[in-house]
Amino acid sequence: AKDRGKNNFQFYHPQLNSLSLRKMELETALRKAIEQESFTIHYQPQVDLKTGMIVGVEALLRWVHPTHGFISPGEFIPLAEETGLIVPLGKWVLQEACRQNKQWRDAGLSDIPVSINISVRQMQEEDFIECVERVVQELGVIPSCVELEITESIIQNIDESLLILNQLKELGFKLSIDDFGTGYSSLSYLKHLPIDKIKIDKSFVDDIVEDSSGGAIVKTIIDMGTNLNFTVIAEGIETEDQQQFLIQNGCELGQGYLFSRPLPLQEVKELLRQGIVH
Ligand code: C2E
Ligand code: CA
Ligand code: CA
Ligand code: CA
């Protein structure tokens, strides 16, 4: 390691060393877990804020490592993006969530759409469109029942992204902008994107009742989204005060622990049967 130059310090720093060890170990484990398909998906309901009716579910990846236990997507998704492993992993989620959605529909359980997180790296793969098209055809899923959640970082590569988004839109998929307000999107870009929905990021929802400027930001996002004809959904709602503020300011939909945590398959099926959260 002598000729690593500047990295020498990092290399011998005991804390960083164990961090990067964990990272290498996780990368190996991640590869293996992808091969063995040892992930599961939890589903979090999206609800009508006024009635509690379930209008959609978001698919969220879960990974339980044999020795490290539960590993948060906040940790392994960035690693998967860095290493490119997000491509096969994302493909698996797409397939699995679509298969599930079709099953619920066939069983007469629910005809609500499923939202699937797509990382920019995955979307920019050459064969991404082909891949989603194939999944949908093979499984017999209706594209309009599949919502793809992408983040504002697609804006950094706007021309290429627009091409892909327009194709997805033509195929009938629903598109939403995740974590809205945290990225780079300027309003002028936003109105050119073929999207259906924006998801107000949890960090803004957190601030709603804390201070008046937090509330003002959320109100502005709702008004803007509504004026541009987007469906607006707020994420990370934990309190009734937040729910009330959102309703009063014209936000229709919400998602958060107040209504339901992301649930394992059996539990979400039960909830879908009822169609409503309490
Ligand atoms: P996200 O897409 O913004 O998903 C929302 C996150 O907020 C989820 O965390 C969810 O469990 C959490 N959440 C929902 N309601 C509340 C609430 O009321 N309070 C709090 N404190 N948290 C709430 P999770 O499942 O840990 O996922 C974290 C991130 O990992 C996701 O953020 C998404 O960016 C990424 N991710 C998860 N699954 C996938 C996937 O299949 N593909 C890709 N590319 N990314 C994924
Ligand atoms: Ca999301
Ligand atoms: Ca989000
Ligand atoms: Ca987020």
Q: Please report the atom of ligand 1 found closest to the CA of residue 255.
A: 15
Nearest protein Cα to ligand 1, atom 19: 236
Residues 6+ apart with CB under 8 A from 240: 258
Residue 6 pLDDT grade (very low, low, confident, very high; cuts 50, 70, 90): very low
Hey, which of 57, 77, 119, 120 would you mutate to test ligand 1's pocket, going by the most ligand atoms within 8 Å of its Cβ? 77
pLDDT digits (tens, 9 = 90+) for 217-241: 999 999 999 999 999 999 999 999 9
**pLDDT at res. 4:** 46
What is the atom index within ligand 1 of the atom nearest the CA of 257? 18
Q: Give the distance (Å) from ligand 1 centre to CA of residue 63.
A: 13
Name which residue leads in pLDDT, 35 or 12.
35
What residues line ligand 1, using a CB cutoff of 6 Å?
44, 60-61, 72-74, 77, 90, 93, 117, 119, 178-179, 235-238, 255-257, 262
Closest Cα to atom 41 of ligand 1: 61
State the distance from the centre of ligand 3 to the C-alpha of 199, rounded, in angstroms.
7
Of 252, 253, 248, 273, nearest to 263 by C-alpha is 273
Task: Give nearest CA residue, ligand 1 atom 21.
Answer: 236
DSSP strand E in the chain: where? 39-48, 54-65, 69-71, 114-117, 146-151, 174-180, 197-200, 231-234, 253-254
Residue nearest atom 40 in ligand 1 by C-alpha distance: 117
Average pLDDT estimate for 160-176: 96
- Closest residue by Cα to atom 26, ligand 1, is 73
Whether pLDDT at 23 is above 90: no
Which ligand 1 atom sits nearest the alpha carbon of residue 122? 44
SS (H, E, C) 134-184: HHHHHHCCCHHHEEEEEEHHHHHHHHHHHHHHHHHHHHCCEEEEEEECCCC
Residue bearing the CA closest to ligand 1, atom 13 = 236
Taking the centre of ligand 4 as the mean of its atom positions, its distance from the CA of residue 72, in whole angstroms, is 12
pLDDT at 158: 85
Of the pLDDT bands very low, low, confident and very high (cuts 50, 70, 90), residue 137 is very high
Give the mutation target among 70, 98, 117 for probing the ligand 1 site: most ligand atoms within 8 A of CB.
Answer: 117
Q: How far apart are CA 113 and CA 107, in angstroms?
A: 15
Q: How many CB atoms lie within 10 A of CB 206?
A: 15
Ligand 1 probe mutation, 41, 43, 60, 86, most atoms within 8 A of CB: 60
Q: Is the pLDDT of residue 156 over 60?
A: yes
B/e letters for 259-269, b = 16+ CB within 10 Å, e = fewer, are bbebbeeeebb
What's the complex ipTM? 0.98
pTM of the complete model beyond 0.90? yes
pLDDT (tens digit per residue) in 186-224: 677 788 899 999 999 999 999 998 878 889 999 999 999
